[in-house]
Amino acid sequence: MTVFKNYFRIVNRHKVMLLMYSAIFLVLIVVFSVSKTPSAGEYQSVKLKVSIQNENEGELSKALENYLSKSMEIVENSNEDELFYGIIDALITIDSDFEENKIVHFKSAPKSMSGLMVTQRVNEFLNKVGMYERVGLSLSDSISSSLEDLDHEVSVSTISKTETNGAHNYFNFLHYVLMSQIVLIINSVMVIYKKETISKRNEVSPVSKASQNLQLTLGHIVVGVGAWLIYIVMYILLYKNHETLPYYILNSFVFMISVVTLAILLSRIVTNENTLSAIMNVVSLGASFISGAFVPQELLSKFTLNLSKFLPSYYYITNNNQLGFNPSLSIILPNVLIMLAFSIGFIILSNIIKVRR
């Protein structure tokens, strides 16, 4: 087992870098994952205090005034002084010729965004009325139809996760750490073994080529499983809720296998230590960003998500997201199988490259 022992002598040279990644991961987890997201209360619209000076008293101006009174507090007999001191949020003036030009004058309190909300409400009402008038309805029918449309309320509900954000965030961050560490270790070892002096020495070694490859493969497996196991134990120590842990364990274990096989494939391409760090950062950071490990998948563009589907990372993160809402084996199994298919594909590609070289 000479090759296997030398494998971990090389790994030991990078212990500072590996410990640094572990420390960064632990800090990120403590900062972002241990703290739970505060529960959101019921949303309530704020009623603005608005004064309306109606000089028209026509059907449209009265309808506008009634519409605004449903969502705002109408203050009688106010002036600009009250607006300046913040007693009211906005002052609306409806001119006597409002029926003809449909122009409303606004004044809002200094440094207040309330005026925008008032303007939006007035404009949406007048635009609705104008739309119905343009299709041939009378003013009365246009007002009635507009009020009916604008009175509709949209019911908003949120789907609560069955799992706290801790597990979800932990295993999402784990994506970057596992990928960066495993790719770094495996490629650091293989770069050394591909050096001309080492390669020629191994050719005349009494250890057969098959045995050398077997020991290297065993080293890759131990590195992958060892790194994964450390972070699983860390999760158990940090978190109390372990109900969905078996699903996260399965998902992360299969992802670890795909990362090990990807690292082996990259080792066929990486030829020197100078490019190792760059490739490791591009692969681990790039995959983390486009797959949703750092940025929620809901915020990523369709093109970015489609691009990430060419990596096992997308399916790993998707499973993590699904486990937060509906933890079950049947939900994650399709993506688990896809990650295993990626692993097989990486092995085939690495063997093809090895034979051609």
d(CA 323, CA 317): 10
Q: What is the pLDDT of residues 86-133, one digit of tens each?
A: 788 888 888 888 888 888 888 876 666 666 788 888 888 889 888 988
User: 3-12, 24-33, 224-233, 316-325 — which is least confidently predicted?
Assistant: 24-33
Q: Note whether residue 156 is domain-resident.
A: no
Q: Note whether residue 157 is domain-resident.
A: no
d(CA 76, CA 50): 9
Same-domain check for residues 17 and 66? no
Q: What is the pLDDT of residues 124-162, one digit of tens each?
A: 888 988 898 888 888 888 888 888 888 776 555 554 444
Phi-psi category of 111—alpha, beta or left, where left has phi over 0 and alpha has psi -120 to 50?
left
Q: What is the mean pLDDT of residues 190-201?
A: 74
d(CA 258, CA 183): 11
State the angle between helix axes of 245-269 and 312-325 in degrees (0 to 180), rounded to the nearest 10: 170
Same-domain check for residues 18 and 78? no
Q: Are 176 and 285 in contact (CB under 8 A)?
A: yes
The radius of gyration computed from the CA coordinates of the chain, to the nearest angstrom, equals 32
Of 283, 79, 41, 308, the closest CA to residue 181 belongs to 283
Q: Note whether residue 155 is domain-resident.
A: no
d(CA 218, CA 337): 23
Q: Are 298 and 325 in contact (CB under 8 A)?
A: no
Same-domain check for residues 254 and 119? no
Q: Which domain holds residue 94?
A: 48-150
Q: Note whether residue 348 is domain-resident.
A: yes
Same-domain check for residues 238 and 261? yes
Q: What is the pLDDT of residues 221-236, one digit of tens each?
A: 999 999 999 999 988 8
Of 341, 281, 273, 333, the closest CA to residue 311 belongs to 341
Same-domain check for residues 129 and 182? no
Both tokens of 340, joined, read 């295993």
d(CA 92, CA 75): 11
d(CA 128, CA 133): 9
Same-domain check for residues 332 and 260? yes
Same-domain check for residues 141 and 219? no
Same-domain check for residues 121 and 258? no
Domain boundary among 150, 179, 209: 150
How many other C-beta atoms can be found within 10 angstroms of the C-beta atom of residue 42? Answer: 4
**Helix intervals (H) in 154-301:** 165-193, 196-203, 209-238, 245-269, 273-291
Same-domain check for residues 143 and 169? no
- CATH number of the CATH domain containing 118: 3.40.190
Q: Note whether residue 296 is domain-resident.
A: yes
Q: Note whether residue 139 is domain-resident.
A: yes
Q: Note whether residue 115 is domain-resident.
A: yes
For the chain, helix, strand, coil in percent to 5 are: 70, 5, 25
Same-domain check for residues 304 and 183? yes
Confidence of residue 309 (pLDDT cuts 50, 70, 90): very high
Residue 43's pLDDT is: 47
Domain boundary among 127, 150, 173: 150
d(CA 45, CA 296): 28
Domains in the chain: how many in total?
Answer: 2
Same-domain check for residues 288 and 251? yes
Domain boundary among 150, 176, 197: 150
Percent of all residues in the chain with a pLDDT value above 70, rounded to a whole number: 87
Q: pTM of the entire structure?
A: 0.65
Same-domain check for residues 110 and 139? yes
Q: Note whether residue 209 is domain-resident.
A: yes
